[in-house]
Amino acid sequence: MTNQELKSSLLQKCIEQQLQGINDLQQQMDDAQQQSNDYGQPKDRYDAFKTKLLRQKDMFGQQQAKGKIVLSTLEQIPLEKPNDKVEFGAVVITNKQKLFVAAGIGKIEMDGQTYFAISPQVPIFSALKGLKKGETTIFNGMKIEIKEVF
C-alpha cells in the first residue's frame, strides 16, 4: 500500500467511525423522544422523569452537532496534497507511535497497525508541528524522532 493509499484509508476509516457515532446519537435521541412521547404529558409542574428524558435528548443533540463539526473537519483534509512536515492532514510515523493529524478520534486499527487520529489542538501536535522527517523534539521528557511524514 502506498503512503497516499494509506492516508486515504485512514481518512475513510475516520469518516466511517464519525458517521457511525452520529447515527448512534440520532438513534439515542429518537429513543429518548419516543420514551417521552410514550410517557405522555408531565404529571405535574416538576415532573422529573419527563424533564430527564428531554434533557437527555438535548444532550445527545449537542453531542451529535459536535460530531458533525468533526466530520466536516475530516472532509476538509486534502488527500492530493503531499505533506513533508507535521501539519493538518499529515500521517506522522515517529519512533513512539503513528499519528494522523485530523480530528480527535483516537485509536484506529488498520492492517495490524495502530494509528492515533489526533486534533491539531492537542499538546503532542504543538510539539511536533512543522517538523520534518529525521528531526527530533522532546515531549513530556521523551525524545520523539520523526521517521516519516506524508
Q: Per-residue pLDDT tens for 80-95? A: 888 999 999 999 999 9
d(CA 26, CA 43): 27
How many structural domains does the chain have? 2
pTM beyond 0.95: no
pLDDT band at 69; cut points 50, 70, 90: very high
Are residue 130 and residue 100 in the same domain, yes or no? yes
- Does residue 61 sit within a domain? yes
Are residue 39 and residue 100 in the same domain, yes or no? no
What domain range is 111 assigned to?
91-149
Measuring CA to CA, which residue among 69, 76, 70, 100 is closest to residue 86? Answer: 100
- Does residue 13 sit within a domain? yes
pLDDT in the model for residue 54: 87
Residue that finishes a domain, picked among 75, 100, 119 = 75
